[in-house]
Amino acid sequence: MKSFIGSLALLTLVSCGKNTEEFLYNEHHRDWQLVQARAAKDCKENSKIFKAFKHRSDFSKYFNQESYYKVKVVKENGAKYNDFIKVQINGKSNMTISYFDTDRESESLSVEFTASLNNALVAAISNGVCDHRKTFQYGHSDLDRSDYLNFSDVRKEGDDSNYKQVTDDFKAVVSYPLALIYWNRSIKTYNKSSGSSETNTYSIEAFSKEKCASDAKCKQTDWRFGSAQMIVDPQAHDSQDLDSVIMELN
Amino acid sequence: MRTLPILCMSLFTFSASAAGFLDFRDESFRKEDLKEKKWIFNMGVDYMQYPTSLPAYDGTHANIKNEENYNIFGVNLGVGREFALGAGISTTLKTGGFYNKSFERNVGKASEDIDMDLANIRTDHMVYGGEASASLNYLVENKVLNFQPFLEFGLGAGVADVEKEYTFEGIEADRSDAEKYNVSAQEGFNYTKTSLGVNFISQQGVVSYIKATRMLMDVNQREIAGAINGEAQDSKEENLDENKEILSGSVGFGFLF
């Protein structure tokens, strides 16, 4: 009896509701561009991950006065080594990022990173991630996470039979200054005509001052290097040119 | 259409559970009692197409008509007494009630590639009421299962609550094309009904039934509240004389005691 009444009640509950889903627009609809723009706006304004990065433009509130990071470098030629980064907070909206290139392949440098650069970088990333035009959209991980974001900027030059493609896979970690994505990425270059490809990978992890002091290479540096300028292009996603990158150091 | 699976599942479930069900009834029910006067209790599931009256609205992604049929499901209960008239013919006087509640939700996503909810349509129905009925039955006896076709007439009164909400977020940058329809309606009605059905009665007095019903509703009162794009739609109509026809189907079980 109980099982029967239970079955009947369940049957009634199951049968009394209907949930459906439909797609309202497609690329042939006259309002398609409006829909894309609306979706992009919603994505930029409401995604948790972008809100988190924007909040962290108040550097002194969210980051330690002084912090260290280790950059693991793996190059296509087989070279593997660690570089180091020191971040010094100079106030609410300014920080100095010092990059110590232990391999000495390139110059160690010091970069000023500001709150406005932080916001420009958030805009550059969100413009690419939230662009719903297939050619220009960055591949990305879940935007409703508030701890990290993986995104891919794929650029391509040439025709289908002879092209060069660069794939930049970035990892932006919310607890690190956003500028550090410059050294938390994998860059893959593929040349169709020669069939050759090259991948160089940089990955960051937090490192303490004490660990730096006990690391043979990290402790060598006095962290005073030649200065470089960070340039952010919020519209970089809008072009497939190989040079159209979201950030550069000059 | 979910009606057919519901009918099949109910009958299947019934047969699977009949043995346990007997624990609750009078074990002294005898074969001869089938032809005597006896009490009857039944419950079942209903399906009806309810004609819903709401203010019409033609939106970008919703077209709400002034009157539209919705599929509604629910349960019914009845208790009564059957009187034998002789030669397998009997009549049953019964009182009972029904409670139907259904909802429909439709989410309009931007597109296959863009995971953004742009429109939502929600329709909730709750229809309930009580009735008295009389039926004329004819018992066809068999060794295992008896059949009892019946013709039932009933009178009743009920209330229908309907809520309809439609929102469209808009695609213009300033959201100037956003739409919102949020209206609820309550209507009271009296009805007469005619049903045609069959009872399947076991030798132990366990009954399952299936029946089709035609209800003639007389809606006597309707109150509407809510707004369409900010414009109030509140109204109250009394002493209405609006007629509607409803077709419904029921399956269920019961027992004689």
Which residues of chain A have a pLDDT value below 50? Answer: none
Distance CA A211, CA A209 (A): 5
**Chain A residue closest in CA terms to B73:** A16
State the pLDDT at residue A105: 63
Length of chain A: 250
A55-110 pLDDT, tens digit per residue, is 999 999 999 999 999 999 999 988 899 999 999 999 999 999 999 988 766 678 89
State the pLDDT at residue B97: 93
CB B129 within 8 A of CB B159: yes
List CB contacts (< 8 A) between A43 and chain B: 116
B58-73 pLDDT, tens digit per residue, is 999 999 998 888 989 9
State the pLDDT at residue A11: 57
Nearest one of B216, B246, B197 to B42, comparing CA atoms: B197
Q: Does any CB of chain B come closer than 8 Å to the CB of residue A12? A: yes
Mean per-residue pLDDT, B97-114: 92
Measured over the CA atoms of residue A224, residue A228, residue A229 and residue A231, the dihedral's sign is negative
Displacement of CA A200 from its chain's centroid (Å): 16
CA distances from A18 to B1, B34, B185, B236 (A): 11, 42, 20, 30
CB A200 within 8 A of CB A149: no
CA distances from B247 to A121, B41, B130, B175, B214 (A): 63, 23, 17, 42, 5
Displacement of CA A185 from its chain's centroid (Å): 8
Cβ contact (<8 Å) for A21 and B106?
A: yes
Displacement of CA A74 from its chain's centroid (Å): 19
Percent with pLDDT over 90 in chain B:
59
How many Å lie between the alpha carbon of B93 and the closest alpha carbon of chain A?
A: 24
**pTM of the complete model beyond 0.80:** no
Contacts with A170 (C-beta within 8 Å, 6 or more apart), sequence order: A125, A150, A151, A152, A153, A181, A184, A185
Within A75-160, strands assigned E span 80-91, 94-100, 109-114, 139-140, 148-159
State the pLDDT at residue A133: 83
Task: Give this complex's ipTM.
Answer: 0.71
Residue entry with tokens 């519209």: A235
Mean per-residue pLDDT, B122-147: 90
Provide the pLDDT confidence category of residue B141 given band limits of 50, 70 and 90. Answer: confident
List CB contacts (< 8 A) between B74 and chain A: 12, 16
Distance CA A249, CA A121 (A): 13
Mean per-residue pLDDT, B236-247: 88
How many Å lie between the alpha carbon of A204 and the closest alpha carbon of chain B?
A: 32
- Which of A3, A37, A39 has the CB atom closest to B17's CB atom? A3
State the pLDDT at residue A9: 60
Query: Does residue B218 surpass a pLDDT of 80?
Result: yes
Mean per-residue pLDDT, B149-177: 94
Cβ contact (<8 Å) for B73 and A16?
A: yes
On average, the pLDDT of chain B sits at 85
Residue entry with tokens 């079942």: B44
State the pLDDT at residue B27: 54
**Token pair belonging to B16:** 């699977």
Distance CA B37, CA A112 (A): 97
Contacts with B201 (C-beta within 8 Å, 6 or more apart), sequence order: B34, B139, B145, B146, B147, B148, B207, B256
CB A129 within 8 A of CB A140: yes
B66-97 pLDDT, tens digit per residue, is 888 898 999 999 999 988 888 888 899 999 99
